[in-house]
Amino acid sequence: VQLQASGGGLVQAGGSLRLSCTSPQRMLVSNVMGWFRQAPGKEREFVAYYRWSGAAIDYANSVKGRFTISRDDAKNTVDLQMDSLRPEDTAVYYCATSHQFLDPTMYRGPNAYNYWGQGTLVTVSS
């Protein structure tokens, strides 16, 4: 499974960016598509996930109300709309897919995911 994340860039605080993750094989193998981020010197952390079964969605508390995850079936992507960006949102953002059927809370952890994209850098200036 190849994942391609795109849409990163430089934005001022309060601005918006939209990330997209595409995987041509998504329909065949994955149950969940998630977004994670990793800031310099920090561990990779959960941002949001979209689960195809029941269209379930979950967000990290730090982004809830500012970020929106959605799927675009026409483009075969899962997008992450990021609004009201803050300097602390600066990180490399990764998309990942899981073909495991787990307790929903486990999708907040990176070990639940089988395939990862290459990451896209988001920089928020103050």
Q: What is the pLDDT of residues 31-76, one digit of tens each?
A: 899 999 999 999 999 999 999 877 889 999 999 999 999 988 788 8
Q: What is the mean pLDDT of residues 72-84?
A: 90
Computed over every residue of the chain, the mean pLDDT equals 91
Closest CA to 89 of 23, 5, 16, 28: 16
Confidence of residue 3 (pLDDT cuts 50, 70, 90): confident
